[in-house]
Amino acid sequence: MTSNDTFANFGARAHVDAADWREAIDVVGALLVEGGACTPEYVTAMAAGVEEFGAYIVVAPGVAIPHARPESGALIQGSAVITLSTPRDFGNPANDPVDTLIAFTAENKESHLESLQTIASLLGDDDAMASVRSAETNEELMAALQLAKNGDQS
Amino acid sequence: MISVATVCGMGLGTSMMLAMQVRQVLTSLNVEGKVDPIDLGSFKSSPSDIVVTTRAMEPQVQGTSAEIVLIDNLVDREEIEGKIRIALEALGK
């Protein structure tokens, strides 16, 4: 597998306070906007997707992957990660509450496949997810994510 | 050869992650299949033998003649394999 430089390339924030699922999406979306990955409209579209289709972005217990269509305002491909100090319900009975959000942008329907593969293998790795969840500082969280990312290349 | 559509709202996140998992499951079951990620807007015009989506999308995938497989945990290989196996049996494959 080739190297994947777009996983968590727009930053990570550990143990963020968010009042509800919408604020959690706003916080992780702000990392993408600040980094130039997308416009604010893209963040609005990520939340609108949950309203329109339900909480299907909660793909595993405790984990949501907010995203929107490339044409909703994606500029550069990448992702950002936050963990929540207090897990929040997104409306997905099987997998709520959510404590980890991995938001991503895609330039087209193929460009982000490597990122998705990294995300899937991270979520399937209980030890790596334990490190992500227990990280108390942004630096610890980024280190845990880097480890997962590098592990994916082997 | 069976055809599988993995469906989500936008056809590029959840459905692609599902497609990766379903392809691996079919390979491990030795089943030849074509797996296509697809968004809700186009899924009704793209018939397939099996439709795989997340439980949250259940209301949106009604009205298809395909076997519907609803997944809770997209990274739980056992769950996905077990449910795909049941769908294959229902199709007589």
pLDDT at residue A115, rounded to an integer: 84
Contact A38, A71 (CB under 8 A): no
CB pair distance less than 8 Å for A67 and B21? no
The interface predicted TM-score (ipTM) is 0.90
Q: Which chain A residues are closer than 8 Å to B36 by Cβ?
A: none
Report yes or no: B14 at the A interface, CB cutoff 8 Å. yes
- Residue A119 with chain B: CB contacts under 8 Å: 17
Query: How does pLDDT run across A70-102, given as a tens digit for each residue?
Result: 999 999 999 999 999 999 999 999 999 999 999
How near does any CA of chain A get to the CA of B6, in Å? 13
Reply yes or no on whether the pLDDT at B22 is more than 50: yes
- What is the rounded CA–CA span in Å between residue B20 and residue A62? 21
Q: Which of A45, A62, A66, A67 is catalytic?
A: A67
Task: Report the pLDDT averaged over residues B16-32.
Answer: 95
B74 neighbourhood in chain A, CB within 8 Å = 59-60, 120, 123
Q: Tell me the mean pLDDT in the region A22-32.
A: 98
The closest CB to that of A56, out of B14, B76, B77, belongs to B14
User: What stretches of A1-154 adopt beta strand conformation (E)?
Assistant: 12-16, 58-60, 63-64, 78-88, 98-105
The candidate with the shortest Cα–Cα distance to A74, out of A45, A30, A46, A106, is A106
A112 catalytic? Reply is: no
By Cβ distance, the residue of B11, B54, B73 closest to A61 is: B73
Do B8 and B14 meet the contact criterion of CB atoms below 8 Å apart? yes
Nearest by CB: A65 against B13, B55, B59: B13
In total, the C-beta contacts within 8 angstroms joining chain A to chain B are 74
Q: How confident is the model at residue A151 (pLDDT cuts 50, 70, 90)?
A: low
Task: Calculate mean pLDDT across residues B23-37.
Answer: 96
Q: Comparing A92-101, A115-124, A126-135, which segment has the lowest mean pLDDT? A: A115-124
| Cβ within 8 Å, pair A94-B60 | no
Q: How confident is the model at residue B45 (pLDDT cuts 50, 70, 90)?
A: confident
Give me the pLDDT at residue A1, please: 34
